Structure 1
């Protein structure tokens, strides 16, 4: 299947403001592109890409006085299948993990494992290590938190989300990630696109989405505590220890988001062959 995705993000600024944007496609998905993936600006600015320590592609720019709109629109191929399920996947003991995976066992800015460790072992210590334990954590997180945009708070940690029992997708991901790490399961936070593909349309504005991946049986596997069930059409942008590592944009000065539009829709293959793509919603 083919998915058309992208965004228009508008920022206001009253002085030149350096910014790092993590709005690129993750390198692991570049081979699936069917059109060019390029960030464009509505004003002439220099943009420079670099790769961070987690393998994400980041873009440096300076937001000019008066602001700027960053846009992207691309088509990507997808297998069209729900998230891969591997219920027999085993959990590695920490001494057998690859060195590059070990950081995803540690506490981080939003995943305060030190405060959740006792809770995690009480809830999940009696569950078989591996896939079953991760699924139990997903089920718990999904039931524990009530989702709503009105509950968004940029400073909320996993421990606070568990106590407050509310949040947005990033809070669901942070809590599940932290609980997995407490149980010695490497887990990393993911950001990207997830459209209403394979489900009834949802009557809310499209947004970027947060989910998480765990390392079992020598591979990373996607889980989604917000939705709890496997979904179709995930498009990874970036991954890290938590949302602090994969912030969509980081401004080094006064810059305000004043416009936000994301689109993610399945399209017919004939549209790309003919060169006429449908208008983004």
Structure 2
């Protein structure tokens, strides 16, 4: 199957404002692109004004872009089409936990507490809740089930400073809060977990009437590889497109601005491309079966 995705974001600012964005599809999915999806950048006040954009990879392998928004503001937009298997997130109940002593070096960081995932505050609750659950996939799924049922989702609950421990106490949140709490609880149980964000359209599920947005989920390291889990939806989904991975939302902020601004426009789209069936060809009349010159 093919998935069309993209965004249009407009930021209004009175003065020059440096920006760092993480809005590009993750390098691990670039080979699935069917067309380039380069970010288009333009000034809101004077669209002919050139804006220099540079690109680099951060410490977690995500694609970052740097630029300076001119006075008046900036528009960021992109669209692309991606091949996708059309299969749901892999499920492997036989996947086992890997002891910390045997984890790859680059995975160890995902056992530690971080800005939004305070393992020190949730350690006791985690072991009380999941210490008796069979280690491995069953334990992670138990954590996902708990978070899914413990938190109530609502866009009006959004607060960009809410941590995993606060979500645990308040029992409300948006998708990032579901991911943060699940990540923190997994790390408390010595299961490496990392935060992810990206596109997730309503493919294979009833359409959500709310405006499209980016989504957050998480991945855990079991049996020597990373698996996707989603505490908000709590079901395998079709068509995830990863943008960035990190310890928590701090590492994968889609826009980091260094100055005051107003968000004027924010649009996201993710949808399956409906293939148009090719018309059936009718057989040519017998007298046209061969070119006259060949007779």
Offset of residue 256 of structure 1: 2.4
**Matches of 2:18 and 2:42 in 1, distance apart?**
17
C-alpha separation between the residues in 2 aligned to 1:137 and 1:59? 35
> TM-score of the superposition, structure 1-length normalised?
0.95
Q: Deviations over 1:170-194 (max 9, x none)?
A: 0000000000000000000000000
Which of 116, 122, 135 aligns to 1:116? It is 122
Q: What is the TM-score normalised by the length of structure 2?
A: 0.91
More divergent stretch after superposition (23-32 vs 36-45): 36-45
Q: 1:123-168 CA deviation, whole Å, 9 max, x = no partner? A: 0000111100000000000000000011000000000000000000
User: What aligned pairs does 1:79-94 form with structure 2 within 5 A after superposition?
Assistant: 79-94=85-100
SS at match of 2:270: strand
Q: Please list the CA deviations of residues 82-138 of structure 1 after superposition, one character each: whole Å capped at 9, or x if unmatched.
A: 100111001001000000000000000000010000000000000111100000000
Pick one of 253, 258, 268 that aligns with 2:259.
Answer: 253
Q: Runs of 4 or more off by more than 4 Å in structure 1?
A: none
- Which residue of structure 2 lines up, in the alignment, with residue 10 of structure 1? 10
Equivalence for 2:152: 146
Query: 1:38-77 residue pairs with structure 2 within 5 A?
Result: 38-43=38-43, 44-77=50-83
Query: Take 2:168 and 2:247, find their aligned partners in 1: how far apart are those partners?
Result: 18
Q: CA RMSD, aligned part only? A: 0.9
Residue matched to 2:284:
none
- What do residues 187-237 of structure 1 show as CA deviations (whole Å, max 9, x unaligned)? 000000000000111110000000000001111100000000000000000
- 1:168 counterpart residue number: 174
Deviation at 1:269, TM superposition (A): 4.4
1:239 equivalent in alignment to 2:245: yes
Displacement of 1:263 in angstroms is: 0.2
Partner SS, residue 142 of structure 1: helix
How many residue pairs get aligned? The number is 271
The structure whose Rg is larger is 2
Secondary structure at the aligned position of 1:213 is classed as strand
Give ranges in structure 2 of 5+ residues lacking alignment. 44-49, 278-295
The aligned counterpart of 2:216 is: 210
For 1:137 and 1:177, the matched residues in 2 are separated by 9
How many angstroms apart in 1 are the aligned matches of 2:163 and 2:206?
A: 31
Aligned counterparts of 2:107 and 2:251: Cα–Cα separation in 1: 15
Displacement of 1:42 in angstroms is: 2.4
How far apart, CA to CA, are the structure 1 residues paired with 2:142 and 2:181?
Answer: 13
